[in-house]
Amino acid sequence: MTSNHELFQRAQAVLPGGVNSPVRAFKSVGGEPFFTARADGPFLWDVEGKRYIDYVGSWGPMIVGHNHPRVREAVERAVRDGLSFGTPCPAEVTMAETIVSLVPSIEMVRMVNSGTEATMSAIRLARGATGRSKIVKFEGCYHGHGDSFLVKAGSGALTFGVPTSPGVPKASADLTLTLPYNDIDAARTLFTEQGNDIACLIIEPVAGNMNCIPPKDGYLQALRDLCTQHGVLLIFDEVMTGFRVALGGAQAHYGIMPDLTCFGKIIGGGMPVGAYGGRRDLMQQIAPSGPIYQAGTLSGNPVAMAAGLAMLELIREEGFYERLAARARLLTDGLVAVAAETGTPFSVNRVGGMFGLFFTSETVESYEQATKADVGAFNRFFHAMLDRGVYLAPSAFEAGFVSSAHDDNAIAQTLDAAREAFRLVAA
């Protein structure tokens, strides 16, 4: 039998860090990753046959659980007719119609192949449509690995951004302005100073890449108003929240209309898919109906569209989101209760089926607070849970996800593991 360790040794010789995406390497929690052989429902099995209750769900798309028969069968049917055509196909029209019908602010949409592609394309559109160059993002929000997004705040609110990765040109980072999340005064100050130079403001409406931090009451509306006032396009990056916190995404949950929206993950049902869409007058400026160029050989791929459409059908079933939120609540309420038994400082955030765990007694509302929670305690908890067959996101700064396949049994087993894990963390 191949072991996880053996595979990781082989992987490190031929893949940078042994992985194809950094967080998978367990760098921030320490130790070595496991290699998944198969997945079903709420479970993953590694190559050694160990089973894990999975709260990562392929980083979001597995909202109905792994390997759902309806999604798998849709893919199997599509595959019989060919893998890629390079011409338009019917499923991409149905997909676009479905997204437009479900998401309040979207009148037209363009399919792409990842969340990164969606956000890079959306800011190009924003710049092309407004004739402005600067963009605004938030510290702790992640929008994929495009140059414009790998930027952190400079030393003051109104200074230039600083690249967070070698290879990002300073000239590109200079165009990205960074704000603290959930701080409307900082946004007002920046817009007063530079509003006329800003093409767009991009935000995760529920931040999911600094753990899970929901917007304060009225915050998103205040940003909407500020953008409208200054002619700045508001982009919601709903790669995580789309079709997760509600059927219509965070924009439906909070009742805000962004100008453009980015999607990924869920709309591919596990296949490599992303999309961006929004107001018709903006989307019509995309090639070939307009001059702003964006393209993709595999975009709208028939197999990916089949998986995504099957997924979107499942989550439209009556009561799906109420059930999903109830699953997540059972988990997070249970974790708070078992943490209290051991006197561990611990708090949770939760929006729909998305949650965050913090080793602090405070309610976390900002990036700064998230970074001050006890990361060492999280890392010990992560490993104690992993040893007991529960897989949490391998970083204190990632949101967790439940699926509709996490039944009472899976959650009860998770809480039993957590009771022991909190004791170990406290000891």
Helices and strands in the chain, H and E counts: 14, 16
Is position 374 annotated as part of the catalytic site?
no
Residue 248: Cβ within 10 Å count: 19
b/e for 137-176, b at 16 or more Cβ within 10 A?
bbbbbbbbbbbbbbbebeeebeebbbbeeeebeeebbbbb
Residue labelled with tokens 């920046």: 190
The answer to whether 105 touches 278, Cβ cutoff 8 Å, is: yes
3-state secondary structure of 279: coil
DSSP-derived letter for residue 359 is S
| 221 within 8 A of 205, measured Cβ to Cβ | no
Question: Measured at CB, which residue is nearest to ligand PMP?
Answer: 115
Residue type, 365: E
Give residue 375's Cα distance to chain centre.
21
Least Å distance, CB 185 to ligand PMP, is: 24
Rounded to a whole number of angstroms, the minimum distance from the CB of residue 90 to ligand PMP is 25
Task: Say which residues have a Cβ less than 8 Å from residue 328's Cβ, sequence separation at least 6.
Answer: 350, 352, 353, 354, 355, 402
Is the Cβ of residue 142 or residue 219 nearer to ligand PMP in the bound state?
A: 142
CB of 274 to ligand PMP, least distance (A): 6
Task: Give the shortest CB-401-to-ligand PMP separation in angstroms.
Answer: 11
Neighbouring C-alpha atoms within 13 Å toward the C-beta of 409: 4
| Whether residue 321 lies in the annotated active site | no
CB of 427 to ligand PMP, least distance (A): 34
For residue 43, the number of C-alpha atoms closer than 13 Å in the C-beta half-sphere is 14
For ligand PMP, the closer CB: 272 or 345: 272
For ligand PMP, the closer of residues 195 and 215 by Cβ is 215
Residue 57 or residue 195: which is nearer to ligand PMP going by CB?
A: 57
Counting every residue written for the chain, the total comes to 427
In angstroms, the CA 182 to CA 58 distance is: 28
Strand order in the sheet with 400-401: 347-351, 354-358, 400-401
Closest CB to ligand PMP among residues 119, 349: 119
At residue 287's C-alpha, the angle toward residues 282 and 293, to 5°, is 95
Q: Which of 176, 170, 219, 220 minimizes the C-alpha distance to 197?
A: 176
Q: Is 216 designated active site?
A: no
The single residue of 142, 181, 321, 367 carrying the catalytic annotation is 142
Q: Which is nearer to ligand PMP, 58 or 369 (CB)?
A: 58
Residue with smaller CB distance to ligand PMP, 240 or 386? 240
Q: Among 54, 183, 237, 259, which one carries the catalytic annotation? A: 237
- Residues forming contacts to ligand PMP in the complex (CB under 6 A) are 59, 114-116, 119, 142-144, 204, 208-209, 237, 239-240, 264, 274
Other residues' Cβ atoms within 10 Å of the Cβ of residue 49: 8
Q: Which amino acid is at 67?
A: N
Kindly name the residue from 55, 134, 259, 265 that is annotated as catalytic: 265
Q: Which is nearer to ligand PMP, 379 or 395 (CB)?
A: 395
The least distance separating ligand PMP from the CB of residue 2, rounded to whole angstroms, comes to 27
Supply the minimum distance, in Å, between the C-beta of residue 38 and ligand PMP. 22
**In 81-215, where does DSSP find H-type helix?**
90-102, 115-130, 170-173, 184-194
Nearest to 114 by CA among 276, 350, 255: 276
CA distance 179 to 204: 13
Least Å distance between CB 149 and ligand PMP? 8
Catalytic residues: 142, 237, 265
